[in-house]
Amino acid sequence: MPDLPDRFRNSLRAALAALVLLWGVAAPAHAAEEFLQPEQAFRLAATKSDAGGLQLTWSIAPGYYLYRDRMAVTASPSGSAVETERPPGVRKDDPNFGEMEVYHDAVTVKVAHAGAPALDVTWQGCADAGLCYPPQTETIQVASLSLVTTPPPADPSARPQEPGATSLWNSVSGSDTQITQWLGERSLGWTLPLFFLLGIALAFTPCVLPMLPIVSGIVVGSQAPPRRAFALSMAFVLPMAATYSTLGVAAALAGANLQAMLQNRWTVLVLGGVYVVLALGMFGVFTLQLPARLRDRLDGASRCLRGGSLTGAAAMGVLSALLVGPCMTAPLAGALLYIAQSGNVVQGALLLAALGLGMGAPLVIAGTLGSRFLPKPGPWMDRVKGALGFLLLGTAVWMFERVVPEPAALLMWGALLLAVAVTLVHAASRSASTVAASGSPLRLATRTLAVLAGLWGSAMVLGAAGGAGDPWRPLTFAAASAKGIEQATTGLRFEAIASESELQDRLAAARAAGQPTLVDFYADWCVSCKAIEKDVFGDPRVQRSLAGVLLLRADVTANDARQRELMRAHQVIGPPTVMLFDDAGRERRDARLVGEFTVEQFLQRQPPSRTPGMEEPT
């Protein structure tokens, strides 16, 4: 295989060329934004303390510092000075003011609140690179601040908290805002390669893995030589990356989730039907005696989309980007939120393009190397096409399960596995005439796989008949019937909301009752939402921790005008997103969860302040 190193070099050159192009385009944009805006370099947050005072916390970007002696707080509108308690800083020989005390990273200043309705906070800082900002002033409305309760001293006699009743609104940054702030503090030289690596990681998630059989179908369907296989793979990946970049910027600027608009029920069904057609083409169905006119059209469309055509590969790349991946994850949500807040369309487009190229890198390798190691055309092609046909059918079922009831999806998976089992039995029977030893390892392995597929498929069909819906636990209906009473008493009940007015009405009622609130943004087509529903909200520890919490669910499957307005009002990019409100109806923005998360991540969030008498769930 003498040309294998050459192809590796070609792939490496193409990837490096794409990254160099991104850096080249990013250089002018970065040159104009070498320094952060003052509100990005020094982020101020104010809170009330239960002792009656205030706390002012600055988050300081790396490479920047605040002057200790340049901080001042005055009452508004009187202008009288307010006493502050500032921690000691680090000595610095400053070129502007001589030897000064400064703060890096973060600092919290305590303020003795004198009863004024508002406070004017003034500070000044500089960048290590030499830029010194003019003094900045921000007015704080005291009445609108949230209360931060100081924890009491530990009571040795107190009963230890029950495992699993862990508090769930911990004071950690929301997953999307943390990334948004990080993006605002970093240059493109850091963020571009990072998003490329994030894209590679996303390529191995359940949202993107279904693209692998698509790429393989394009390459194998064309029986392409190595160079042609590489070109077809790149023709699939580059439009996919460009689509992410274009739609991501459009979604952020328009304030709407365009991917959600394209993920409606009928669109998913149509695209799933396309994959079924592709699979039938792999099975040779199009050789049946259909009317000549219809046969020619179907064969031409299937040949174009299966492979052999760069245009067909590019079209499949665009469709896959829109309708297959990726699910809403914190990196993507953070990038979109950063574009919407900063208005920096160029940087946002480059970051999403790097993310798309990273997601496409494993696809290019799979498409190129996969075709390289295949033997020359022969009878094996029919077997490979059959395998790819089943993979494409699996992709179609994976898409259909977003929009059909769970038992129906489980029935489709079961039927697919039974078809695989029958095909393997047929293949084992045919191999008996070509293999001298009837007990050859290949034939034994084929029969073993056929038995496993048949048993699993049968269990899925039985489970679907009993109302089950989990392909990995197809017979859970038996356990469900045995534990029906327990599930009925421990299952979480969400109230449905569909608009901003409905959410505000529920929050007002919860505020009057002194009740915290959880809002879950969900969609039928969101695979991660279904995983969270089963693995997180179905966990007994999570259910115990949510005792006494009002549970609301915003189903944005239809993505109509009211649902878009609800998401826009709260800067929700898309599902899954979980918002957490305290008993005063204020969102704990630092505790928002975006993308798929685990039980442990959920339980790390600390409950918001509760009215007296509300106890932690045990």
pLDDT in tens, 49-72: 656 678 888 988 888 899 888 888
List the beta bridge partners of residue 91.
Answer: 101
How large is the angle between the packed helices 345-372 and 211-222, nearest 10 degrees? 50
DSSP label of 343? -
Q: Are residues 391 and 253 in the same domain?
A: yes
Question: Is it the case that residue 377 has pLDDT exceeding 60?
Answer: no
What's the rounded Cα separation, in Å, for the pair 482 and 476?
10
Residue ending a domain, choose from 107, 123, 145: 145
Tokens of 569: 């009002």
The answer to whether position 612 is within a domain reads no
Domain count of the fold of the chain: 4
Structure tokens at 479: 């356990």
Cα gap 240→360, rounded to integer Å: 8
3-state helix, strand, coil in the chain (%, to 5): 55, 15, 35
**Residue range 68-107, pLDDT digits in tens:** 888 888 888 777 888 888 888 888 876 556 678 899 888 8
In a domain, 168, yes or no: no
Residue 303 is which amino acid? R
In the predicted structure, residue 507 carries a pLDDT above the cut 90: yes
Same domain membership, residue 254 and residue 390:
yes
Q: How far is CA 232 from the centre of its chain?
A: 28
The amino acid at residue 195 is F
- Is 248 in contact with 335 (CB distance < 8 Å)? yes
408 contact partners, CB below 8 Å, separation of at least 6? 464
Q: How much is the average pLDDT of 488-499?
A: 76
Record the pTM.
Answer: 0.44
Same domain as 313, residue 365? yes
Runs of H (alpha helix) within 466-539:
476-482, 484-490, 500-512, 527-535
Residues 430 and 470 in one domain: yes
**Which of the two residues, 254 and 486, has the higher pLDDT score?**
254
Q: Would residue 210 count as lying in a domain?
A: yes
In a domain, 618, yes or no: no
157 found inside a domain: no
Candidates 489, 571, 1; CA nearest to 256 is: 571
Q: What is the pLDDT of residues 179-217, one digit of tens each?
A: 555 555 556 677 788 788 877 776 665 556 556 666 666
Longest CA span, the chain: 100
Do both 556 and 427 map to the same domain? no
CA distance 316 to 327: 18
In a domain, 150, yes or no: no
Q: How far apart are CA 182 and CA 40, in angstroms?
A: 10
- Both tokens assigned to 305: 């989309």
Q: Which of 458, 482, 506 is the last residue of a domain?
A: 482
Structural domain boundaries, residue 383: 1-34+175-403
Query: How confident is the model at residue 184, as a pLDDT?
Result: 54
Q: Which residues pair with 109 in a beta bridge?
A: 56
Q: Is 68:89 a contact under the CB 8 Å cutoff?
A: yes
Share of the chain above pLDDT 70, in %: 60
* 92 phi and psi angles, rounded to 5 deg: -140, 135
Average pLDDT over residues 3-14: 51
Count of CB atoms within 10 A of residue 213's CB?
A: 23
Q: Using CA of residue 471, residue 475, residue 479, residue 480, what is the dihedral sign?
A: positive
Question: What is the four-CA torsion angle of 223, 229, 233, 236, rounded to 10 degrees?
Answer: -50
- pLDDT tens digits for 105-141? 888 888 876 577 888 898 888 887 667 777 888 888 8
Q: What are phi and psi of 506, to 5 degrees?
A: -65, -40
Q: For the residues 252-260, what does the mean pLDDT come to?
A: 49
Residues 113 and 190 in one domain: no
CB count within 10 Å of CB 164 equals 16
Asked if 425 and 529 sit in the same domain, the reply is no
Residue 129's CATH number? 2.60.40.1250
**Cα-trace Rg, the chain:** 29
C-alpha closest to that of 503 among 514, 493, 511, 491: 511
Helix pair 211-222, 310-323: axis angle to 10 deg: 170
**Model pLDDT, residue 532:** 87
44 Cβ neighbours under 8 A, 6+ residues apart: 56, 57, 58, 121, 123, 138
> Are residue 214 and residue 88 in the same domain, yes or no?
no
Asked whether the beta carbons of 355 and 240 are under 8 A apart, the reply is: no
pLDDT at position 4 = 42
Which residues does residue 110 pair with via DSSP β-bridges, in sequence order? 55, 85
CB under 8 Å to 148, separation ≥6 — which residues?
47, 48, 49, 50, 55, 609
Give the residue, 505 or 264, on which the prediction is more confident: 505
CB 587 within 8 A of CB 580: yes
CB neighbour list of residue 436: distance below 8 Å, 6 or more residues apart = none
Tokens of 553: 């669910």
Residue 23: predicted pLDDT: 47
Query: 55 and 47 in contact (C-beta within 8 Å)?
Result: yes
Average pLDDT of the segment spanning 267-296: 67
Residue 495 has pLDDT above 80, yes or no: yes
Identity of the residue numbered 400: F
Q: Within this chain, do residues 141 and 196 fall inside the same structural domain, yes or no?
A: no
CA distances from 198 to 24, 434, 585, 615 (A): 21, 47, 35, 41
C-beta atoms surrounding 390 within 10 Å: 18
382 and 252 belong to one structural domain: yes
- In this structure, of 104-118, 245-259, 307-321, 418-432, the range with the lowest mean pLDDT score is 245-259
The predicted structure's pLDDT at residue 8: 46
Give the residue-averaged pLDDT of 293-297: 52
CA distance 250 to 352: 12
Q: In the predicted model, is pLDDT for residue 255 greater than 70?
A: no
Best CA proximity match to 614, nearest among 552, 542, 547: 547
Q: Which is higher by pLDDT, 483 or 107?
A: 107
Residues 6+ positions from 51 with CB-CB distance below 8 Å: 150
**Last-in-domain residue among 482, 504, 538:** 482
- Name the more confident of 41 and 174: 41
Query: What number is the average pLDDT over the span 413-427?
Result: 90
Query: Taking Cα atoms as reference points, which of 566, 611, 607 lies closest to residue 588?
Result: 607
Task: Pull the structure tokens for residue 301.
Answer: 């469309």
**Could you check whether the bond before residue 471 is cis, i.e. omega within 30 degrees of 0?**
no
Bridge partners (DSSP) of residue 65 are: 126
Smallest CA-to-CA distance from 132 within 97, 107, 93 is with: 97
Whether residues 186 and 286 share a domain: the answer is yes
Report if residue 609 sits inside a domain: no
Top pLDDT among 11 and 528 is at 528
- What the block records as the tokens of 577 is 């997103």
Q: Which of 372, 370, 367 is nearest to 14 (CA)?
A: 367
The answer to whether residues 571 and 548 belong to one domain is: yes
Whether the Cβ atoms of residue 556 and residue 522 lie closer than 8 Å to each other: yes
On whether residue 435 sits in a domain, the answer given is: yes
